[in-house]
Amino acid sequence: MNTKTIQQLKQELLDKKGTLSNMQAMNKQTDVERDASLTDVMDRSEVEESWFNKERMSQHWKVELIQIDSALQRIEAGTFGVCEECDDEIPVKRLRVRPDASLCLNCQESAERELGHGHRMVRPSSAPTQFLQ
Ligand SMILES: [Zn+2]
C-alpha cells in the first residue's frame, strides 16, 4: 500500500474518531438534561427504553473508538493493512470501507461464524431502576 493511501485512511480514522468523541460528549450532556425534565414527561418504559438505547450506543461508540485507536497504532507501527490473523494483506478496497478493519475478509467471516450470528442484546443487569427513583 502506498503512503498516500495510508495517509488518506489515517485522516479518515482521525475524522471518525473526532465525530465519535463529540457524539459521546453530547450523549453525556443529554443524560443530565433527562434527569431534570424528561422523567416527568415520559413514562417508565420510555425512560428505560431511552436509557437502554443510549447505553447501547455509547457501548457501540466505545468499541468503535478502540478499533480506530488500534488502527491508528497499526499505522504508526507500520503493520496497517495486514491481517492480524493470517498476515495477508487486507485489500485497499476493504480498508476504504472499513479503515479500522484488522482482519482480511476471510478471517473476518470465520471470526463472525465463531461468534454466531445475530448478536443478541442483553440488557445490563445494572440497568435502569436506580435512575428512576
Ligand atoms: Zn486473514
CA 110 – ligand 1 centroid, Å: 9
Q: Is residue 129 part of a domain?
A: no
Alpha carbon 41 to chain centroid, angstroms: 31
Ligand 1 centroid to Cα of residue 102, in Å, is 9
The reply to whether 21 falls in a domain is yes
CATH number at residue 82: 1.20.120.910
Burial class for 101, CB neighbours closer than 10 Å (0-12, 13-18, 19+): buried
Number of domains into which the chain is organized: 1
In-domain check, residue 92: yes
CA of 103 to the centre of ligand 1 (A): 5
* Residue 125 within any structural domain of the chain: no
Residuewise pLDDT in 10s, the chain (133 residues):
889 999 999 999 999 999 999 998 888 776 656 565 555 556 778 878 888 888 898 899 999 999 999 999 999 999 999 999 999 999 999 999 999 999 999 999 999 999 875 555 444 444 444 444 4
Domain extent for 88: 3-117
Residue 36 falls inside a structural domain: yes
Cα dihedral angle (47, 125, 31, 36), rounded to 10 degrees? 50
Judge whether 108 lies within some domain: yes
